[in-house]
Amino acid sequence: MSSPQHVAALALALFAAAPVAAEPEAAFPLGLDAEEVRIPADNPPSADKVALGRALFFDPRLSRDDTIACATCHRPALAFTDGQPVSTGIGGQRGGRSAPTVINRVFATAQFWDGRAPSLEEQAKGPIVNPIEMGMPDHATLERKLNAIEGYRTWFQRVFASDVTIDGVARAIASFERSVLSGNSALDRHYDGVEGALSPAAERGLKLFKGDANCSKCHAGFNFTDEKYHNLGVGMDRPDADTGRQQVTGRVEDRGRFKTPTLREVAATAPYMHDGSLATLEAVIDFYDKGGIANPQLDKDMKKLNLSARQKADLLAFLRALSGEGWQHLGPPDSLPR
């Protein structure tokens, strides 16, 4: 999927965008595995393509009435989420799911809580024409609208040697998203051997996370996700329960399963879960302590934990130690194409 050349190209693109990194390799924050990036062979990154994608990501003209950008629901200030239980799109319409972060999506292929988009490129095409998100009637209308903006026409010519096309829009946005990273957290520095990087509470929390609390069973690896689907019972006690992964596969055993989210930056991405039903990390920990919500498809790894108050505080300290760097400089560009 990703050749060494692609990884090097992404590192160079990150290098161009990051204000601090001294050399391209340093553009990958500490703790992230550059070998694990997923870049389609037909969409190699370049600094110019990433910059174009950034402009598109922040541009409300991608919506029907110029009010909603990708960044409306994936706000840099909230680690690329929107702080709402469920998102509000064009004309104040509400969707049924909470906006996940776009941070560290370069390490995955399947996108959305139910994994229905096979790549970031495919994902990006969805919200633009979703009637309750950005509300464009169709992709051809978006192409006409952007081709009428001289700055975009010339930028697309430079990057793709073509006029604005929906495929180009999706490729540029996906390339930008692949540059939105988080690493160099207190935990990464701890693993890197920095004495005192983790507080004693966070260190006890780390042991619980990997041990008795069994969190790392699903929140596995350096990005804290197995990229698989699990049923924790979230929302399954409601009559109109979101069936999640079952909508993609049609299989009963996938009912109520959702993709394991990364836990990097989790302190900044409240509220939690696919339906935003848990307002705080304390509530999430209590939810796991009780073993989730009983339902026929509940994951076998969901068990009552019976944590003490101190153990809960330790887990919380650990989760807060997963806040890092690599995305804070990626606010809106200074100006949008005219």
For the CB of residue 218, give the shortest distance to ligand HEC in the complex, in Å.
3
> Position 209: which residue type?
F
Q: Which is nearer to ligand HEC, 27 or 173 (CB)?
A: 173
Q: Which is nearer to ligand HEC, 9 or 68 (CB)?
A: 68
For the CB of residue 158, give the shortest distance to ligand HEC in the complex, in Å.
21
d(CA 226, CA 217): 8
For the CB of residue 93, give the shortest distance to ligand HEC in the complex, in Å.
8
**CA nearest 106: which of 209, 199, 1?**
1
Q: Which residues bind ligand HEC (CB under 6 A)?
A: 57, 68, 70, 72-74, 87, 89, 95, 97, 99-100, 102, 105, 111-113, 120, 123-124, 127-128, 133-134, 173, 177, 213-215, 217-219, 230, 232, 234, 258, 260-261, 263, 266, 269, 272-274, 281, 284, 288, 299, 301-302, 315
Q: Which is nearer to ligand HEC, 64 or 97 (CB)?
A: 97
CA dihedral 32, 38, 41, 42 (to 10 degrees): -110
Q: Left (φ > 0), alpha (ψ -120 to 50) or beta: where does 266 sit?
A: alpha
For the CB of residue 112, give the shortest distance to ligand HEC in the complex, in Å.
4
Length, in residues, of the chain: 338
Q: Which is nearer to ligand HEC, 46 or 277 (CB)?
A: 277
Q: Which is nearer to ligand HEC, 194 or 279 (CB)?
A: 279
Residues 268-295, buried b or exposed e (16+ Cβ, 10 A)?
bbbbbbbbbbbeebeebbebbbeebbeb
For the CB of residue 195, give the shortest distance to ligand HEC in the complex, in Å.
25
**CA nearest 274: which of 304, 234, 301?**
234
